[in-house]
Amino acid sequence: MIKIQNNFDLKSTITCGQIFRFEELADGYIVILDDRVIKLTYDINYIYIESNKEDNLEKIIRDYFDLDRDYEKIIGDISKLDKTIKPALVYSKGLKMIHQSPLITIIEYIISQNNRVPSIKNSLNLLSEKYGEKVTFKDKEYYLFPSIDKLSKLSVSDFRECKVGFRDKYLYEIVKSIKENKLDINSIYEMNSEDALKYLINFKGIGNKVASCILLFAYQKFDVYPIDTWVKKFMFDEYGIKEETKIREYTKKIYKEYSGLAIQYMFNYKRNSK
C-alpha cells in the first residue's frame, strides 16, 4: 500500500470518459492498468493505493495519473488567456489527463467508434477475459488487457466474438501492423501532433476522432483533441461558435498548446455540472 497527497480529483479523472476499465466501489475505485489491478481509496489528505503487484507502484501511479505535471500553472495560464472558460476550470479543478499505454488506447478507441460506453466496456472485458492474463487481487479475479503477442494470434472472427461488430477487421489489421512494426507506436512519441495525426489516420479504422483520442490519452499531446457534442454545446452557448472547423480555429488561437486540456475541462463541466 502506498499513499500520495490527495491533491487531485480522483472521481472526475476516472469517470470523465478517458478510462473504460474501472469499477466504482463504495469507498473508492478499482482500475485495471497494463500490468496490474489497483484499488484507490481516499480521505481528505491522502489517496491510498493497493495493488496485486506493489513493485514500482508509486512511480506507475504518478505516471498514469500524470501527477508530476504542474496543472496549477497550466490552468493559471489558460484562465489568463480567456475568462469565459474559468467556471469550467474551477469546476474541474484537479482533473488529470491520464497516461495510458498506446496499444490499449488504440484498441479501445477503435472499438469506441460508433459505439456506446457500456458496449465498449463489454467488448474490452470479453477480450481481456478470453485472452488476457488472470490476476487475483483481494480474493477477486480480474483480467489484464491482452499483450500484443496474444492479440496478434487472433482471427477476425475471434474479434467478432468479442462483440466488436464491423470493427473486427480493423482490429485484426491494426494489431498485425503493430506486431510487424508497420504501425510503430514508439515513433509517435517523437512526432509533432500534426504529423502524428496524419500518420495514425493512414491506418484503416482510425479516423480523426479516434486518432485525436489516442494522441491525447496515450501520448499526452495536449494540442490535439476530439470535439464531441458537449464541447460543441459549450462553444455554442458561450461563444456562439457552431462549426467544428471554427471551433478548432478558435480553441487553437486562444488555448494554444493546452487546447486538449481546456477541451477536456469544458467537456467535464458541460456534461456533469447543472
Partner DNA sequence: TCCCAGGACTACT
Partner DNA sequence: AGTAGTCCTGGG
Binding site for DNA (CB under 7 A): 112-116, 118-119, 122, 160, 163-166, 170, 201, 203-211, 228-229
Of residues 208 and 220, the one with the C-beta less far from DNA: 208
Task: Name the minimum Å distance from CB 30 to DNA.
Answer: 20
Of residues 134 and 204, the one with the C-beta less far from DNA: 204
Task: Name the minimum Å distance from CB 155 to DNA.
Answer: 14
The candidate with the shortest Cα–Cα distance to 127, out of 163, 96, 178, is: 163
Task: Name the minimum Å distance from CB 21 to DNA.
Answer: 16
Task: Name the minimum Å distance from CB 246 to DNA.
Answer: 14
Of residues 126 and 254, the one with the C-beta less far from DNA: 126
Of residues 115 and 220, the one with the C-beta less far from DNA: 115
